[in-house]
Amino acid sequence: MSYNKRLSFEFFPPKTESGMVKLRETRSTLGRLSPAFFSVTYGAGGSTRDTTRNAVMDIHSDGYDVAPHLSFGGDDEASVLSLLEDYRQHGIKRIVALRGDMPSGMGMARLVYANELVRFIRHHTGNHFEIEVAAYPEIHPEAKSYEEDIYYLKQKFDDGANSALTQYFYDADAYSWFLESCRHAGITAPIYPGIMPITNYQNLARFSARCGASIPRWVAKQLESYGSKQDDIINFGIELVTRLCENLLAAGAPGLHFYTMNQSEPTSSICSNLGIRAEAG
Ligand code: FAD
């Protein structure tokens, strides 16, 4: 089996120098899998403006394509534009445009919807950036309905986005159904499934409850039964996520976007199972 679709890896910006050193090792390992790009998240409300930029520039200086995530957060138009110009001048060519969430403990008048940010980027920078947006096969937690969430996803494409990366999920049917519904709604752009490898059940359960990603009951029960046996959790997770990726690719996924949590494993093992070969080096 060989893999010939788009591959991308997501990181969060390290807070410390040792975190940055570890991230360099991770990206050098994952870089051998020839990803189309790496992406770096942006903290709620712009809380990681500098660390995201630093990580982006560090990855870019190694010759990789890298996409900063960006949202308005609490910023005004001038600061968002200045960050965009900074990225443009440094040769960054891709942005993941998001609304983001309300930072805890910080009041804010209004969150700027992602489609408005996409429009803003296109207005000020033309076609310089390839724009990725977020999509939710299990539907965004605040969406009023399935149809309405897809309507607003279409809005992001109509305003100039090129493709979407999804929230993670563990039910391949949710993605197939979503793809079909998007096609019916007139969305023709590629929608890349977001893949979350499993390393820690408690963290995954907590985060999933917050972001509206469901963990199938049988998967939760299986993970719970391993207790603190970390190797069993990892091995089960690799097997489960490999099968998920195989099903998604068979269902027409145009590629895969991995939430790596800044670790090369278990993403590398899943990629290897999928026939994604590392270049020598
Ligand atoms: P939007 O597309 O703006 O949608 C938000 C909600 O509003 C949805 O319910 C939608 O149906 C509705 N809506 C959309 N447009 C309109 C409109 N014009 N009028 C009325 N309602 C509307 N968060 C971070 O803080 N930093 C990150 O780096 C980050 N990276 C992410 C990467 C990916 C691939 C994904 C899937 C999510 C990421 N998130 C990140 C989380 C994301 O910010 C949250 O899920 C947030 O709640 C929604 O962002 P969005 O861009 O999808 O919002």
Q: How far away, in angstroms, is 52 Cα from ligand 1 center?
A: 18
**pLDDT in the model for residue 95:** 98
C-beta of 191 in contact with ligand 1 (< 6 A) = no
Q: How far apart are CA 14 and CA 8, in angstroms?
A: 19
Question: What secondary structure, in 3-state letters, does 80-132 show?
Answer: HHHHHHHHHHCCCCEEEECCCCCCCCCCCCCCCCHHHHHHHHHHHHCCCCEEE
Which residue owns the Cα nearest ligand 1 atom 46? 100
The Cα-based distances of 153 to 97, 130, 179, 263 in angstroms read 12, 16, 12, 30
Q: How far away, in angstroms, is 278 Cα from ligand 1 center?
A: 33
C-beta of 149 in contact with ligand 1 (< 6 A) = yes
C-beta of 113 in contact with ligand 1 (< 6 A) = yes
Q: Model's pTM, two decimal places?
A: 0.97
Q: How far away, in angstroms, is 251 Cα from ligand 1 center?
A: 25
Q: pLDDT (tens digit, 9 = 90+) per residue, 13-30?
A: 999 999 999 999 999 999
Nearest one of 94, 80, 81, 79 to 40, comparing CA atoms: 94
**pLDDT in the model for residue 281:** 64
* Residue 186 buriedness (CB in 10 A; 0-12 / 13-18 / 19+): exposed
CA atoms within 13 A on the CB side of 243: 8
**pLDDT in the model for residue 105:** 60
The one catalytic residue in 10, 138, 265, 279 is 10
Of all atoms in ligand 1, which is nearest to the CA of residue 166? 36
**pLDDT in the model for residue 225:** 96
Q: How far away, in angstroms, is 228 Cα from ligand 1 center?
A: 34
* Residue 69, SS3 per DSSP: strand
φ, ψ (nearest 5 deg) of residue 130? -80, 125
Cis preceding linkage at 266, omega within 30: yes
Query: Does the active-site annotation cover 116?
Result: no
Q: CB atoms < 10 A from the CB of 162, how many?
A: 15
Q: How far apart are CA 196 and CA 211, in angstroms?
A: 13
Question: Which regions of the chain are under pLDDT 70?
Answer: 1, 104-109, 281
C-beta of 134 in contact with ligand 1 (< 6 A) = yes
Domains of the chain: 6-273 (3.20.20.220)
Q: Which helix (H) or strand (E) holds 61?
A: helix 49-61
C-beta of 14 in contact with ligand 1 (< 6 A) = no
**pLDDT in the model for residue 108:** 53
**pLDDT in the model for residue 102:** 76
C-beta of 115 in contact with ligand 1 (< 6 A) = yes
Q: How far away, in angstroms, is 112 Cα from ligand 1 center?
A: 9
Q: Map tokens 């090129």 to a residue.
A: 162
Q: How far apart are CA 59 and CA 27, in angstroms?
A: 8
